[in-house]
Structure 1
Amino acid sequence: MMSISRSVKRNRAVLDPTRITLARELRGLSKTELAKILGVTPRTLQKYESEGAPVERASVLADAVGVEQEFFRLPANEGLSTEQGFFRSLRRATAAQRNTARAAAAIGTEVYTFITERFKLPVPNIPEIEQLSPAQAAATLRAAWGRGTGPLPNLIQLAEANGIRVLSLPSNAKTVDAFSFVRDDEAYIFLSTVKTAERSRFDIAHELGHLVMHTRESPTGATDTLASQELERQADEFAAEFLMPAEAVLPRSSREPAVPEIMELKATFKVSAIAMTKRLHDVGRASEWAYRQNCVELAKRGFRVGEPDGISRERSRVFDTVFPAIREKHNLHAEVAGHLGITLDLLHQLTFAQIPVSVTGDKQRASGEGPDLKLVHSR
């Protein structure tokens, strides 16, 4: 199992060094850059991150990295290394973006600790399926979740209903499409919000493939290997079958389907046009020639770089339920600042922009089609 280390002991005489590093990485700053902002030498900043900073530096540090002062007084958190999770698109991500994603993961787990201290969430329902092919694993997970072979509903809510914690990534980690990991027997998926809604659905399905097939494997690290590339291929194959089961696609499609039919199928299964085109080829409905011709036509229509007239972005039912409920009884800003040490703006970025940045007291509820989470106040 993958875990987040919390081995550094807390010293109340100084600001926690691991949290200084975490906040710096979250903002994508190098040590040299943060030292310049703070007006200290790189050597001084190195000391802050190894031994802790003087408590009187809390205000200037908080302003520099965009967190609350309390963030540095919370228990140590060394974060998640990129070797501990299944990260996508690492080759395209800069070191700063990888660090931002890793820091977001560490803070995201704390957000969920904050939630579970106040609400009861569904227990994890994630079977480990290691001996089956990706297609068989996808069918097994559908069966375990009672989904049959038809098109799937809101995937964020479906994952949440089965105990998986889904959060979004800050915009400065935009080239990391998605990643997943397990900590203390709880599964997490983090998604980029700069992708189309259809792409995000595929990313969730891809990460589900990792969670059910690869939890005992060595995750993808910073350097791609043949082994890690094979894990990614398997997760893609799982995602295609999970979202577009051959048993459901075949009776709904004709031989050599053209673009108009692809548009109908993509809308039915809520996937990208390119993904549906590839799926039709993979299940034998489209020849290689037809597949290539359809890809050319879709590219002309803008489907290589986006999803014209695509679906709406899916929402989390957890966030649409939990935070309005907290706001009914408390000042949400004060609760988040005091218990998590983060701003509402950062919480907004980690929760699919479902938390209003301005504290107005307005409640937002989703009418999502996923299963009812049946959240219950624990206190």
Structure 2
Amino acid sequence: MSEFIGTNLRLIRLFHDLSLTDLGEQVGVSKQFLSRVETGAEVASAHLEAALAETLEVLPEFFYRIDPNPIVDEQCHFRRQLTTKVALRQVARARGEMLKRLVGVLDEHVELPQYQVCEADAESPETIERAAEMFRSLFGLGLGPLSNVTRIAENAGAVVLRVCGLAPEIDAVSFATKRPLIALNGDGRSACRERFGVAHELGHFSLHIGVLTGDRLTETQANRFASALLMPRSTFATECRLALRGTRLNWPGLSELKLRWGVSKAAIIFRGRQLGVFSDDQARAGYVGLNRHGEALKESEDHLIANEKPEVIAESLKVMKEHYGVPQSAVAREMRVQPRLLQDLLELPQVELTGNVVSLRSSTSTHFSETRMR
């Protein structure tokens, strides 16, 4: 007979961002007893098991499922990890684990795009620039602005989802699992910030396979990849000069570049300095100017750029339901959770679909992937 797995209880407790005390109060036991259940030192009674399942929105069998491939530290990439507390990272990882389980169910029923992010060398800025250039070349993206970074990531075989419940300190978190995942903070980041976050996580997938990230070096490397992917040096260095008027920054020019390339003014200043277009003094003046105008976190043009919508999960679920009679409740059952937990995880918009093919066509290139039922 299978045994109650305490780590599954801990996983789903953290998914709901509940402390041992919080959960204990809801199910009528002490935090000490719950802690012992999680470590396997105590056995949960049938009554407690039922109460835990109801409170945590899972099916009782959730506690008995062995995960053969749990997410480990080297697979987790947190943007802003340097300043993120351990407890907040644990909640984010729990959300990622449940997202991984959802994608595992979808992979059983739906043919998702093949993963195609190539491993690259992070030993120098030059090798990172080349890695970003190779990524663009592989997908035929050209050297201009990218119209939809999220769709490009999904065409490359990653799964992107905007996730609620992540701490404000976390812009994005990715998981280098069998099907790589990118979870964006769902609390209303600007489109530019989200686009850079997706590109940053693609950088981790390319540069840091099996590497523990979160230190200043790996974050700097992923940022370099993101900057190079979004603003390729061969074309952006020339265009970036629009942001100069004599020896001073041209703020209307910066705004024009932002709207054209879909990146923040802060990212443009950073990239311009990186490419030698702006001097240290000019870049410093740019950052001071952003702070002076209250644009350190939210820039004045942000509302003019629409947020991109992740498509793979939403469209796959829609195909499964409308064309193959597999409703979300059945997906939840395969995950061994209650439907309301799946809804909490997804927060999905409605996606219009016709026919039995989900198109993931990228408007920035001729490359496309299609999702079909097997």
Q: What is the CA–CA distance in structure 2 between the aligned matches of 1:190 and 1:63, rounded to whole Å?
A: 26
Q: How many residues align?
A: 352
Whether 2:313 is the aligned partner of 1:322: answer: no
- 1:22 deviation in Å? 0.6
Aligned to 1:116, which of 103, 107, 122? Answer: 107
Partner of residue 300, structure 2: 308
Partner of residue 27, structure 1: 16
Partner of residue 165, structure 2: 171
User: For 2:13, what is the secondary structure of its paired residue?
Assistant: helix
User: For 1:306, what is the secondary structure of its paired residue?
Assistant: coil
Superposed counterparts of 1:55-70, under 5 Å:
55-70=46-61
Gap change, CA 1:219 and 1:165, over 3 Å in 2: same
The answer (yes or no) to whether the contact 2:75–2:175 under 8 Å persists in 1 is yes
Aligned to 2:234, which of 229, 241, 247? Answer: 247
Gap change, CA 1:333 and 1:123, over 3 Å in 2: closer
Superposed counterparts of 1:40-79, under 5 Å:
40-51=29-40, 53-76=44-67, 79=70
Partner of residue 336, structure 1: 331
Whether 2:85 is the aligned partner of 1:98: answer: no
Letter in 1 for 2:27: L
Q: What is the CA–CA distance in structure 2 between the aligned matches of 1:77 and 1:100, rounded to whole Å?
A: 20
- 1:119 deviation in Å? 0.9
- 1:268 deviation in Å? 1.1
Deviations 1:210-257, CA, capped at 9 Å, x for gaps = 2111214x3126xxxxxx321111111111111111212123233444
Partner of residue 348, structure 2: 354
- 1:69 deviation in Å? 4.3
Gap change, CA 1:213 and 1:126, over 3 Å in 2: same
- 1:189 deviation in Å? 2.2
The answer (yes or no) to whether the contact 1:90–1:176 under 8 Å persists in 2 is yes
Whether 2:6 is the aligned partner of 1:17: answer: yes
Deviations 1:154-194, CA, capped at 9 Å, x for gaps = 1121111111122333324332222333224x322222223
The answer (yes or no) to whether the contact 2:237–2:277 under 8 Å persists in 1 is yes
What is the TM-score normalised by the length of structure 2? 0.84
Superposed counterparts of 1:136-151, under 5 Å:
136-151=130-145
Aligned to 1:37, which of 26, 41, 46? Answer: 26
- 1:342 deviation in Å? 3.5
- 1:71 deviation in Å? 3.1
Q: What is the CA–CA distance in structure 1 between the aligned matches of 2:254 and 2:39, rounded to whole Å?
A: 56
Partner of residue 369, structure 2: 373
- 1:125 deviation in Å? 0.8
- 1:199 deviation in Å? 0.9
Partner of residue 356, structure 2: none
Q: What is the CA–CA distance in structure 2 between the aligned matches of 1:302 and 1:369, rounded to whole Å?
A: 34
Partner of residue 157, structure 1: 151
What is the TM-score normalised by the length of structure 1? 0.83
Q: Which runs of 5+ in 2 are unaligned?
A: 354-359
Q: What is the CA–CA distance in structure 2 between the aligned matches of 1:308 and 1:331, rounded to whole Å?
A: 44
Q: What is the CA–CA distance in structure 2 between the aligned matches of 1:240 and 1:346, rounded to whole Å?
A: 36
The worse-fitting range, judged by mean Cα deviation, of 36-45 and 260-269 is 36-45
Q: What is the CA–CA distance in structure 2 between the aligned matches of 1:78 and 1:59, rounded to whole Å?
A: 26
Gap change, CA 1:269 and 1:336, over 3 Å in 2: same
The answer (yes or no) to whether the contact 2:166–2:185 under 8 Å persists in 1 is no
